[in-house]
Structure 1
Amino acid sequence: MEKVSLSEVRIENNPLKVHSVRKPVSDALGTEEFAFNYFELEPGESFSGGMHRHHDQEELFYILEGTATFETPDETVTVEEHGCIRFAPGEYQTGGNQSDALVRGFAIGAPGSRHDWEEIDALLDCPACGEETDHEMAFTDDGRFAFTCRECGNSLS
């Protein structure tokens, strides 16, 4: 059995610096089969930093406080306090705080306690293609993201 209080979990934010508080609860508990992260988003902050999809993991977001806004390429949805939203593997999504108040919530992903970076795509404007295209993501040794267009091979960082 493992036990932890949220106050004991260290803050470990996304390298894109798109949120103030992300606490990887699953790391503190040593989970292997799912990811469980606590977030506090100030107005204008996001869970991930942009439109992306996980080929190997579904995600569920539970909003404890406030109203979060989630988007897919086709739709925008708000999720209010005590509401949940799920994204299937391979479904593009992004979410954040477009309100004037703090958003607190959890992001849960399964299977696996960590993302396989080779199984994540970002939907980005490609200057070489002149349109939004799928970009593979890589996490660099210096703690940053690098993106490569799957259509033309153009690299962004």
Structure 2
Amino acid sequence: MERVAFDEPTDGPTAGVDRRGLSDPLATDGVAINRYRIPPGEGFPSGLHTHADQEEVFVVLDGTATFETLPGRDPDDPGGSNTARSGRVVTVPAGEAVRFAPGEYQSGDNRGDDDLVALAIGAPRETTDVRVPVRCPDCGEADFALDAAGDALSFRCPACGAERVPAPCPDCGRDALTLALDDGGAVVAACDGCGAAFDSPPFRD
């Protein structure tokens, strides 16, 4: 048996996202567990993404989590743009849990007034196939996979091997672009710095 304490009481909203990995202290083999404390206006790491090889469950302990969700791309639908699918927003209050299947896109944040405290549970523990909802412009056959092995984060097409390196925001120049849903449920590249939104993420030459 392994045991770990992961939470301390606070007197009010905290500054910045507090993530505590519980997998290593608990010596888990088949499941990844993280505890998050997220202040208002902040979110779980990453924009819209999916683990093609892992299911995820979020258990909300305090506050309310708001998730943007997007179904996985139909493998029989070749080509298509980022706007071919429509996403939706789901609110998960304390005392509830939500599951995202492998291939189902999600991102979550705290749009409330109080801290959000949640457990993020993924199985299997290790995930190596993380995708973003951006169709490869070269072959149109697959959504890009994230590749963090090099000096800079890049997108790689699992179908044809094409690679793209995301560029900074064209409006403000910050490396603060994430994938999100616009008001109509379409995927956009949104800048966390200046608030600009683009139909497709810009790439470096």
- Structure 2 length-normalised TM: 0.60
How far apart in 2 are the matches of 1:121 and 1:41?
Answer: 24
Q: Quote the Cα distance in structure 1 between the aligned partners of 2:39 and 2:157.
A: 31
Structure 2 unaligned spans of 5+: 9-15, 71-86, 167-205
Which of the numbers 4, 23, 28 marks the counterpart of 1:26?
Answer: 23
Deviation at 1:24, TM superposition (A): 0.8
Equivalent of 2:145, from 118, 122, 136? 136
Q: Residue 124 of structure 1: CA displacement? A: 4.4
Runs of 5+ in structure 1 lacking a partner?
9-18
Aligned to 2:165: 156
Q: Post-superposition shift, 1:114?
A: 2.5
Q: State which of 114, 122, 125 in structure 1 corresponds to 2:126.
A: 114
The question of whether the paired residues in 1 share the 8 Å contact of 2:100 and 2:106 is answered with yes
1:93 is aligned to 106
Matched AA of 1:104: V
Note the alpha carbon deviations across 1:115-146, whole angstroms, 9 max, x for none: 22xx11012488x68xxx8221122366x633
| CA RMSD, Structure 1 to Structure 2 (Å) | 2.6
Paired residues, number = 140
SS in 2 for 1:72: strand
Identity of aligned residues (%): 40
Q: Secondary structure at the match of 2:105?
A: coil
TM-score, length-scaled by structure 1: 0.76
1:1-157 matched pairs, under 5 angstroms: 1-6=1-6, 20-73=17-70, 74-111=87-124, 113-116=125-128, 119-124=129-134, 134-140=143-149, 145-148=153-156, 153-157=162-166
| Aligned partner letter, 1:101 | D
Cα distance change of structure 1 residues 57 and 151 upon mapping to structure 2, 3 Å threshold: closer
Q: Which has the higher strand share?
A: 1
Matched AA of 1:3 = R
Per-residue CA distance 1:14-73 (angstroms, 9 max, x = gap): xxxxx6211110122111100111001112222132111111111100101101101113
- Gap change, CA 1:7 and 1:103, over 3 Å in 2: closer
Larger radius of gyration: 2
